[in-house]
A and B are shown apart, each in its own frame.
Chain A
């Protein structure tokens, strides 16, 4: 029977109490010792062939008969007021079907409470007009023929300008500070922490604005069949998109179908409907033809979000023997003209170590850029860089091994919640990582030539426990094949594969008899967005629950066939594809023999994610150990080796999990060494809106990466024992690299990325001191 319960769900550093409908079929949790046939094996992806042959269909690839192309004309100034638009010449060009703008508004011009085609253009790339035409050429020609008159306004392209007294208003009539007092977390007192400290380290940092750079740029295609709208959207949340579109278009939710079968990367930047999604849907309705609108690479950099750059100060106090007395972290960010309150930069500071006195503040200001978006462990990447770099500095000051200092302050329970963890495997991750890496490092032979070698490490905490609501439906056919429908999406993490493994395990079927359908809101029941590393931990227990319900129905049939009618369903087990009567294992039937008995019929079952345990914190942990080489003549930093050890509970698929760690580490390497969005302070225009000037790692930059998992089932967290992994592996990488650079050449990198010019400047400064 469904009931309503309150449960705590953590998402990207914030804890929410939710009222959820709970209807979980009680499923016994898999323990550490449960014998598994599919779960825990390094299996290739179920959709591998489609991926390597080019048959996997992404939103970019949607092509429908009669389909038109839509695209925005965008602001070329950081801040301006529109005074006139003349689109007559453009509208007369061949192949142009429709032009909408401020003086010719579409039927709906609001999305998520924001006005589209407003008078004020508050960032480069803001929407000025939407053109629909026969193809990209016709649209491109028309965009070039639209005449726009604007009155330029003063602009603040960065934090310094936005925060300046008498600085220009980012938005006319709005305060530049979004959270002037900041988001504050505090326990104990800073004064007490300073008083008790024998040693204090106080450092300031800056981190770069980082672009997601999804290889598939954002995009949507829309098609109407009567009053049913189908939207293909490259999104991390089909249900989030469905609700934002239904809301904007005043449509009943069941009239909106959102499909996102293959997604070319998201990393936090692809959530609900976007302006181009809404306009594609409106234009498709207006013109009676499907419309596709896809961003080009420059637009992707201008309007698809970023990790906001930060200014930070960290103060750590400790006693002589290394016990932390104070963690204080202050951060300032800009989240764009219409951005929010800023990421949880203080998250790691409040939870990574045992410390009685902690204070974190994050202040967010506007700037004349597009809005910041969640980007793989928002806040935690930049917060951990500053915190773990300062901790390393503290270790040096105390002449302690950095790992010993971390163990000295190890928190056995959640410091901010004062509650035990469901499981914490950080110590084990330290041990595994240190053993594989060789920590503490041996002193190197004196270097000949310009290259110096260094070793560093850093730790990480993240959520990833997931929670309700998440549902699953299982359809079991008479031939013993099962279809598992889940309203999540596979953004490249392998969701389709791991959920199929979980279903095959529970149902006792072989993996190829299970087909998992994700990324389509029509057939699937509700599933959460793929963010906060919650997908597996939310959806897999729902899949188990649905499978369990299907089995109950099958067992009832099997009981009749075994002449055990009415026996307690729990008296049966599923072993290697057979339904077995526990009391008398001779009494068994192959599952497919039971399904065959059904005739042309289908067992349909549903399942739901149960609540999280009360009064326990669910977190993921990890530690990275890094070896770098630094060239003291050129300032070049080469990240040569990374050992990444992570506790994410049970690992369902070590092959795909390892891939996620590679990805996180490489994004961390980019963040630490090459990536930075640059905005020209004089013009307010972006200088790095492409993949040439915004440097993401390529294959030659790739270190040797060794991935280790603690792999202990977190049985108290959920019935599968798994937690999320998407975000953890990017979190500690930059700090570990910075710490290794310090070990190599004795200078502390406080400003990322650690480019050669910065390294040379630091080395020169060190020499003169």
Chain B
């Protein structure tokens, strides 16, 4: 791979987010999280720690979850980024989102975007997860409000809905 040094001043980047191309001019030291939140107004992705310890900033990068606070924006060129804003189809909620509402899978809601994104990614890989798989798959998302039992219930319910929709 050819090394392509750029910076330290702002460089133009094209980011593919929720199916749309966004042009930004940012320093290479910028994290994906700061670019989403500060440049693009996509504030659904939260900053709980900025240190890869809480999961509030979880996004999906080429199908895999990633902590946006530990990902440099410049690393994301040419990759498919999905944020919480891209989970629903217009007004139609994703089954995971609907299940969180139905089962009260939150309290303050601050960790919720990260939880929802993690759950969507988990179900994409493991459509019928066991409870142990849910717990392990979502262990990187802290919820200080302690909504875990309701989140587990929400993920299970979403898995069922999705299986029915498939079926």
**A residues whose Cβ falls under 8 Å from a Cβ of B:** 44-45, 48-49, 51-58, 60-61, 63, 135-137, 212-217, 262-265, 267, 296-297, 491-494, 655-656, 658-660, 662-667, 690-692, 696-700, 702, 704-705
Contacts and interface: CB of A to CB of B under 8 A. Distances in A.
Contact of A659 (B93, B113, B147): B147
B65 interface: no
Contacts of A56: 109
Interface in B95-147: 97, 100-102, 104, 106-113, 116, 134-136, 138-147
Contacts of B30: 137
A493 B93 contact: no
Which 9 A-B residue pairings sit nearest by Cβ, starting from the closest? A54-B44, A264-B110, A492-B108, A666-B146, A48-B101, A54-B84, A492-B107, A663-B146, A51-B109
Given A265-B110, A702-B135, 15 more contacts: A48-B100, A54-B43, A54-B84, A135-B38, A214-B144, A215-B56, A658-B104, A659-B145, A663-B146, A691-B53, A696-B144, A697-B148, A699-B141, A699-B151, A699-B152
Contacts of B15: none
Given A63-B43, A214-B144, A655-B104, A698 B139 contact: yes
A726 B17 CA distance: 39
A264 B53 contact: no
Nearest to B27: A137
B43 A61 contact: yes
B104 A54 contact: no
B141 to A, nearest CB: 7
Contacts of B143: 215, 699
A655 B42 CA distance: 30
Contacts of B104: 44-45, 655-656, 658-659
Contact of A216 (B44, B87, B110, B148): B110
A704 B41 CA distance: 39
A296 B50 contact: yes
A663 B140 CA distance: 18
A527 B83 CA distance: 36
B46 A702 contact: no
Contacts, number: 172
Given A137-B27, A492-B107, A700-B139, A666 B148 contact: yes
A48 B116 CA distance: 13
B148 A702 contact: yes
Interface of B: 27, 29-30, 34, 37-38, 41-51, 53-54, 56, 83-85, 87-88, 93, 97, 100-102, 104, 106-113, 116, 134-136, 138-152
B53 to A, nearest CB: 4
A690 B53 contact: yes
Contacts of A53: 44, 84-85, 87-88, 93, 97
B110 A58 contact: yes
**Residue with the greatest number of chain A CB neighbours at <10 A, chosen from B29, B48, B54, B140:** B48
B139 A699 contact: yes
B95 to A, nearest CB: 11
Nearest to A493: B107
A52 B53 contact: no
Nearest to B43: A61
B101 A216 contact: no
12 contacts: A45-B101, A45-B104, A48-B101, A49-B97, A53-B44, A54-B45, A58-B46, A137-B27, A262-B109, A297-B53, A659-B145, A662-B148
Contacts of B29: 137
B8 to A, nearest CB: 11
Contacts of A698: 139-142
A711 B154 CA distance: 25
Contacts of B53: 297, 690-692
**Residue with the greatest number of chain B CB neighbours at <10 A, chosen from A44, A667, A699, A704:** A699
Contacts of B54: 215, 297, 691
A54 B106 CA distance: 13
Contacts of B147: 659, 662-663
**Residue with the greatest number of chain A CB neighbours at <10 A, chosen from B116, B141, B147:** B147
Contacts of B141: 698-699
Nearest to B150: A659
Nearest to A693: B53
A686 to B, nearest CB: 15
A699 B138 contact: yes
B84 A663 contact: no
B48 to A, nearest CB: 5
Given A659-B150, A666-B146, A702-B148, A52 B107 contact: no
A216 B108 contact: yes
Nearest to B154: A52
A48 B101 CA distance: 5
Contact of A700 (B41, B102, B106, B136): B136
B99 to A, nearest CB: 9
Contacts of A658: 104, 150
A163 B149 CA distance: 43
A497 to B, nearest CB: 10
Given A262-B108, A663-B147, A49 B93 contact: yes
A63 B106 contact: no
A263 B110 CA distance: 8
Contacts of A697: 146, 148
Nearest to A262: B109
B148 to A, nearest CB: 4
A54 B145 CA distance: 17
A135 B136 CA distance: 37
A623 B136 CA distance: 30
A228 B70 CA distance: 39
A215 B46 contact: yes
Given A52-B116, A667-B146, A215 B108 contact: yes
Contacts of B46: 58, 60, 215-216, 264
B136 to A, nearest CB: 7
Nearest to A216: B110
Contacts of A60: 43, 46-47
A492 B108 CA distance: 4
A664 B149 CA distance: 12
Contacts of B101: 44-45, 48-49, 51-52
A217 B87 CA distance: 25
Nearest to A660: B107
Contacts of A212: 144
